[in-house]
Amino acid sequence: MARRLAGAEVGALLGWMSTRVLGQYDLLVIEDEHPEDQDIVYYVGPNVLSLEKRFGFPPREFRLWLALHEVTHRAQFTGVPWMREHFLGLVNETVEAVDTDPKAFLAALTRALDQIRKGNNPLDDGGLVTVFSSVEQRVVLERVSGLMSLLEGHGDVTMDRAGADEIPNAVRFGQVLRQRRQQANPAAKLLQKLIGLEAKLKQYEQGERFIEQVEASGGTALLDRAWERPEHLPTIGEIREPDRWIARVGATLAVP
């Protein structure tokens, strides 16, 4: 009964989450089986059609606009030589840091209660997964969050800029999707917070602000330093406070 109930819950959760996705760059972890089926960009057709109908989006423009975001992710992983290996390494580190000791669970619960007493919501940084992660896992998850915020923010910024001349409705598309991310009923917002989806949505906004502030400080030459080596990637703390990353990485940027 427990297995069946868990299966039903996971199925319902994935079904609900599937309605929120428009497109995806699929970076599969398995490398030896069917390599021709890896490294795929695809649409979630029913969701795309639903938005086009609801808001009267021109289909050709909207689909090109979505494609720009996803192929930007593809360029990030295929154009930066070390990115794929680094990302998969973080995935492995996260899995290897799992601690099934009940004491670790109690320690995580104690940390969550401490955060609540300090006036913070322990769910804000990534939902239940982050709340009940070990100290080692949390370090890795923060690195993952920093990387994903950079990638998602860069994807959105690139999508808007690349589509400015070719897609007349690009600004409207962006406004509608940003409003869509923010609008949800109270029950949906609670679910999003619990499963970490709210933190995922924040990655877009935080990543965009990070890129804007970095470029305002040092132009694209400064931002390009993030792609030079894994050590230059921003942490989630630096994403939220770009001046920290600029001070750490930009200090060695040659002044023309």
223 vs 256, residue with greater confidence = 223
How many domains does the chain fold into?
1
Does residue 13 lie within any of the structural domains? no
Distance, CA of 57 to CA of 62 (rounded, Å): 6
Banded pLDDT at 256 (limits 50, 70, 90): very low
Letter string b/e over residues 75-110, b meaning 16 or more CB atoms within 10 A of that residue's CB: ebbeebeebeebbeebeebbeebebeeeebeeebee
Q: Is the pLDDT of residue 162 over 50?
A: yes
Mean pLDDT of the chain: 78
Does residue 7 lie within any of the structural domains? no
Nearest to 232 by CA among 212, 252, 218: 252
Paired tokens of 86? 């680094």
Q: Is the pLDDT of residue 53 over 70?
A: yes
Q: Is the pLDDT of residue 103 over 80?
A: no
Distance of CA 218 to the CA centre of its chain: 24
Q: Is the pLDDT of residue 255 over 50?
A: no
Does residue 3 lie within any of the structural domains? no
Q: Is the pLDDT of residue 197 over 70?
A: no
φ, ψ of residue 40 to 5 degrees: the values are -115, 140
Does residue 9 lie within any of the structural domains? no
Looking at residues 129-149, what average pLDDT do you find?
74
Does residue 57 lie within any of the structural domains? yes
pLDDT given at position 183 = 67
Residue range(s) defining the domain that contains residue 103? 19-250
